[in-house]
Amino acid sequence: MSIRNPGNENNMGSRGKCVGRGERGVSIVELAFILPILLILAFGVVDFGRLIQARLVVANVSREGGSLASRVGIYDDTPDAASDRQEFGKVLNLLLSSAFPLDITGADGRIFITRINAGFTKGNPDPSIYMRFSAGSMGVASIITGSEGQEPGGLSALMRDHLTFQEDNDDADIDNLTVVEVYYYYRPITPLPQLMKNMLLAGNNGLLIGSVSYF
């Protein structure tokens, strides 16, 4: 014959309820610590993935643009400025469309195409800008300074030497140089910059991406 103690059963039930509440409380505290880390990781995957994609697109547009633009007019026996200008315009439009999903034409993008001709005579040995094209409205300047017909600034000493007329050779080392610059201002779509407080993206607004190709 067994004798039950109702008081003990009540005590055990109360302790079980307390333990259950305590475990739930610990879980809530653990979630409060882990959730911000999980959010940062998720935001990082999204935004850094988009950033890497934007860098690849900008670099590819710059390289392909340099390759295409460098071929304009090089096979013509008699240079035709009007025809070359039309061909450069076609290359520029092609590059703008190939930058998808980036919008290089808007306020967050800019592209420059500059053709520099070498000096070909002893009396005019310095290189000069043959043609310049640009698209997009972002406020960033080209690394090549000067207008069409002027001597270009921003070239390295080595590049300038190759484009300068050499009396010993009675010619320049290269006939021309094509410079394609592509710039894009990447803007994050998640609250990651605000969470990280200037640790990753300066100003919490975005990051300027640029690529320059010489052909």
Phi/psi of residue 183, each to 5°? -130, 145
Q: Extract the tokens encoding 48.
A: 């850094």
Residue 12: band (very low, low, confident or very high) from pLDDT cuts 50, 70, 90: very low
Quick: pLDDT tens for 146-187. Answer: 999 999 999 999 999 999 999 888 899 999 999 999 999 998
Are 112 and 180 contacting, i.e. CB atoms less than 8 angstroms apart?
yes
Instruction: Return the percentage of the chain with pLDDT > 70, whole number.
Output: 77
E strands, the chain, in order: 109-117, 128-135, 176-186, 207-214
CA distance 37 to 57: 30
**pTM, two decimal places:** 0.79
Query: Which has the minimum average pLDDT: 70-74, 171-175, 203-207, 208-212?
Result: 203-207
Quick: pLDDT tens for 24-67. Answer: 666 677 777 787 777 778 877 888 889 999 999 999 999 999 99
Q: Extract the tokens encoding 151.
A: 């001597």
Which residues 6+ apart lie within 8 Å of 180 measured at CB?
Answer: 62, 65, 66, 69, 95, 111, 112, 113, 114, 212, 213, 215
CA distance 31 to 49: 26
pLDDT of residue 201: 46
CA distance 112 to 89: 11
- Section 106-121 average pLDDT: 94
Strands of 207-214's sheet in order across: 128-135, 109-117, 176-186, 207-214
Highest mean pLDDT among 14-18, 43-47, 94-98: 94-98
